[in-house]
Amino acid sequence: MDSFYQAYFSQWQTATERPAVIDGLLPLFCRHLGASSCRLFVKKHAEWTHFTHCTPFHSLPISPRDEELEGWLCQPMPFHRQSAEKAVLWLPLQHQGTPIGLLALSYPAGSPCTDPDYLQPCILHLSAELKNDIAAEQPAGSGPVLLDMLQGLHDISFALWRAESIDDMLFHAVEQGKKVLKIDRIAIFLLTGHNRMKGTYGTDTEGNTVKEAYFESPIPPHWFIDHPQAQHGYLAIEENTSLYHDLQEIGFGWSAYTSLWDGDKRVGWIAYDNLINGRPLADYHPQLLKQFSFIVSQHLVRRQTEEHLSQLNGELEKRVTERTRELQQLNRQLEHTSRHDPLTQVPNRRVFDQTLPLEWRRAQRHQLPVSLLIIDVDHFKSFNDTYGHAMGDRCLTLIAQTLVSVERRAGALFARYGGEEFVILLPGQNAQAAIVAAENTLKAVRSLLIPVNDQEYCNVTVSVGISCMVPDKQSTADQLFNQADSALYKAKSLGRDAFFIYDD
């Protein structure tokens, strides 16, 4: 190490009082780096403090006004100011983005200024030390600082309230907590049951907020875990202790823990330390950490309850949807059952009884014809007697499934009326159309092969009675039916396998 840095660091080690350190430091820039004067401007709680050193044989640089200093304070890089007699190298002091002050080195005109890169380690070190001093200085100014912090807690609470999810909320808790409470590192852990814990968000060794959800472990046998947790907001602080990252020891300082509570149940904790800047805890910090922990607990519990509720709602909605689907399916089945004949699966008498009056009225309104065919299986008693009732059922099913497609005109209805009787209702169709339908019916049944055992088939026939009317004021749907019925009787008496059309 060269002579300047040797002298610089030995100054830090020998002197203990901060003003003495600075008094001893400033001459080093003149003695080792050729500066004619050196001044340090530090901004403490909105007020500027000046430290000066100058060698006896050079004049001081002209004092800048506070407004100028304010302007230069946020300069990101070192910069020069030149006059006829001297050059001044201004070095902004910043720590983690916070402006702290300025170091000004004056050189006689014509002498080279020190390379700012060379001074970089010293500037970083000086910035961190001064930042710690400013943070540690309280009593006189602690009122406003504490008030700022309380306002900060309110802002944190607001930020957590606006977070989009638990994850987002925990990220902001760590991020905002560090910024507002001026704590180097914060990490939030949640208990997962069975004596285990998991990470959420934490702070790496550079001070960045990082996701630590990967971290999952049994709860380590740590001193503060077993410490009696007598009351909510319990705070445990250990000074001069080892500091850890991912269970690895990485430094020395103070560490603190606050618990997160859901009612009487501890659900996690927040860990804090001063790994990066080594700043001491301020008097008001214990109270702030408890409040901070209380705020995080509240938001965590509220979010967890909300998420649990919304999950329950989701499940409930899913169940209601499933149940509604089942009911709709059941309704469709019921509707089908109530309208179809269970043996043949064609529309049943109920459908016919509902449709006939409707079509009758429509025909009446528009003065259109309406035709009805009653179809009766011939000698079906004897079929049953010969082949058995089960074969009789089979025969009726085959006839129904054949006849259901014989008449395909719009509005036509084929239904099982009862027993071995079927009907075809032809709204808007005259006698001619009804005759065609009857002929097709006879033909279709005649050519039907009815299996009566494993090898044999037989044929059956049907008789059809037809009635066709254009409804007038006196006539009724019953009349239409009765006429078709008597026509059927006539067809039977004519020898069966025939149709007869009612004619008065």
Ligand X SMILES: Nc1nc2c(ncn2[C@@H]2O[C@H](COP(=O)(O)OP(=O)(O)OP(=O)(O)O)[C@@H](O)[C@H]2O)c(=O)[nH]1
Active-site residue set: 420
CB 258 within 8 A of CB 270: yes
Comparing CB distances to ligand X, the nearer of 144 and 418 is 418
Comparing CB distances to ligand X, the nearer of 230 and 390 is 390
Comparing CB distances to ligand X, the nearer of 262 and 485 is 485
CB of 483 to ligand X, least distance (A): 18
For 208, half-sphere exposure in the C-beta direction (CA atoms, 13 angstrom radius) is 4
Binding site for ligand X (CB under 6 A): 343, 376-382, 384, 389, 392-393, 396, 419-420, 492, 496
Three-class SS state of 420 = coil
Question: What whole-number distance in Å separates Cα of residue 437 and Cα of residue 427?
Answer: 13
CB of 377 to ligand X, least distance (A): 6
Comparing CB distances to ligand X, the nearer of 376 and 407 is 376
Compute φ and ψ for 229, nearest 5 degrees.
Answer: -100, 75
Outline where 372-476 has alpha helix (H).
380-387, 389-403, 431-446
Comparing CB distances to ligand X, the nearer of 146 and 498 is 498
CB 216 within 8 A of CB 198: yes
| Other Cβ atoms within 10 Å of 186 Cβ, number | 25
Comparing CB distances to ligand X, the nearer of 75 and 384 is 384
Among candidates 465, 462, 464, which has minimal Cα distance to 446?
462
Type of residue at 400: A
- As a whole number of Å, the CA-based R_g of the chain is 50
CB of 495 to ligand X, least distance (A): 11
CB of 378 to ligand X, least distance (A): 4
For CA atoms 97, 99, 100, 102, the dihedral sign is positive
| Other Cβ atoms within 10 Å of 216 Cβ, number | 12
Compute φ and ψ for 389, nearest 5 degrees.
Answer: -65, -35
Question: Which residue's beta carbon is nearest to the bound ligand X?
Answer: 392
CB of 491 to ligand X, least distance (A): 10
Torsion of CA 473, 478, 483, 489, to 10 degrees: -170
CB 174 within 8 A of CB 209: yes
CB 54 within 8 A of CB 60: yes
What crossing angle do the helices spanning 285-339 and 166-181 adopt, rounded to 10°? 170
Comparing CB distances to ligand X, the nearer of 140 and 390 is 390
CB of 457 to ligand X, least distance (A): 17
Question: What whole-number distance in Å separates Cα of residue 260 and Cα of residue 414?
Answer: 75
Three-class SS state of 228 = coil
| 499-501/462-469 β-pairing | parallel
CB of 462 to ligand X, least distance (A): 9
